[in-house]
Structure 1
Amino acid sequence: MPYEWTPEPPHAQPDWQLCLWPYRSLLRKDFVLFIGATALIVTLPLLTVLGTAILWGLLPFFALMLWGLWTALSISYKRGEVLEELTVTDSKAHLTRHNPKGGRQEWEANRYWVTVHLHPTGGPVENYITLRGGDREVEIGAFLDAQERLALYDDLRQALRLGAAP
């Protein structure tokens, strides 16, 4: 699962932290390997026109395709650089969301008034999870898939009820 409890379960401590991040199917090293393999595969047909004027006509399109692929994957990767940290102490709960463009959003509430809510339908995503406390309701883990959000919902409910990470 793309989230981690600190301290690791099963601990019966009142202070804990939960870090969530989007799943990455393409790691940085694999990103470079993918671009290299794509370049190699597309270059193979160019070998047949090596030494002819056709090569110079096809080369700009080959370069444009590689640049477009690199740019699209880079943009996708940067948009997925989200980190959410929920820190719960004996008196308060603090959620910090680190956005891809460098901004931060923060929420804080009295730990004993924080409740976890699951919205199976009607939210922006299926099994939408929100934390309610104080005067605001905030989302958590919207980038996770539906099954991961269900597991997270159960874990969060248990952790907030017992006062310790599951």
Structure 2
Amino acid sequence: MERALPYEWIPPEPGGPIHELHLWPHRSLPKRGFAGFIAGTFVLLLVPLYPALGSPVLWGLLPFLMGTLWLLYWAIQRSYRDGEVLEELRIWPDNVRLERHSRRDATQEWEANPHWVLVALHQTGGPVANYVTLRGAGREVEIGAFLSDDERVDLYGELTRYLPIRE
């Protein structure tokens, strides 16, 4: 079974780049699953309240249980917002451009001549295993740092079809 990768190659359009790649962080809990998880947690939090119905203990427990539910909701929503990252790699015959869009930071950009761009896979020594970088125009930039180790190896293989490999 082939796994779905959190990136895709966009078909070329007339006048656009000859190759375009979009990368994003993997989401193990989709939005629909998130709603079900919160609903299920709410139902489970009601279980200890059932015996307390009609007694003053209910009003002692209710704020803590609902506060727990709210905190869980807030934490997962924060995780979604922090994970809103998109990297776009565009390759033209005379230019390569990498843009990283993040909700929290300004857009980061890098450009170089594709003839001089080198793709490298650092199996060790980087901030993560199988660290993929692009080098050109006097800079070395990472690509797909939020991907898993195996996904970065797959990405490296696909990038080497379009850009030179650094030994």
What TM-score results when the alignment is normalised by the length of structure 2? 0.89
CA distance in 2, matches of 1:23, 1:52: 46
What is the distance in 2 between the residues matched to 1:84 and 1:72? 24
1:157 partner amino acid: T
Paired with 2:124 and 2:163, the residues of 1 have a C-alpha distance of 23
* Residue matched to 1:136: 139
Match of 1:61 in 2: 64
Question: Residues 113-148 of structure 1: CA distance to partner in whole angstroms, max 9, x if unpaired?
Answer: 111011111111110011001111100000000000
Which residues in structure 2 correspond to 1:96-115 (within 5 Å)? 96-101=99-104, 103-115=106-118
Name the structure 2 match of 1:45. 48
Corresponding residue for 2:11? 7
d(CA) in 1 for partners of 2:47, 2:133:
51
Which residue does the alignment assign to 1:33? Answer: 36
**Among the aligned pairs, what percent are the same residue?**
52
After superposing on structure 2, the runs of 4+ consecutive aligned residues of structure 1 that deviate more than 6 Å are: none
Structure 2 residue aligned with 1:70: 73
- State the Cα RMSD in Å: 1.3
- Alpha-carbon distance in 2 for matches of 1:32, 1:103: 30
Structure 1 residue 88: deviation in Å? 0.3
For the residues of structure 2 that align with 1:37 and 1:48, how far apart are their CA atoms?
Answer: 19
Unaligned runs of 5+ in 1: 9-13, 162-166
2:140 partner letter: E
Q: Does 1:81 align with 2:74?
A: no
Query: TM-score of the superposition, structure 1-length normalised?
Result: 0.90
Residue 154 of structure 2 corresponds to 151
The DSSP-based 3-state class of the residue aligned with 1:18 is strand
Point out the more displaced range, 136-145 or 98-107. Answer: 98-107
Deviations 1:12-56 (A, max 9, x none): xx7110000011111112211111110011112211110100000
Q: Please say which of residues 84-93 and 37-46 is displaced more in the overlay.
A: 37-46
Structure 2 SS opposite 1:132: strand
| Deviation of 1:61 (Å) | 0.5
Please state how far the C-alpha of 1:102 moved relative to its aligned partner. 5.2
Count of residues in correspondence between the two structures: 156
Aligned partners of 2:69, 2:98: CA distance in 1, in Å? Answer: 39
> 1 or 2 for the larger relative contact order (CA 8 Å, sep ≥6)?
1
Cα deviation per residue 1:75-114 (whole Å; 9 max; x = unaligned)? 1111111100000001000000001315210000011111
Quick check: which one's helix share is greater?
1
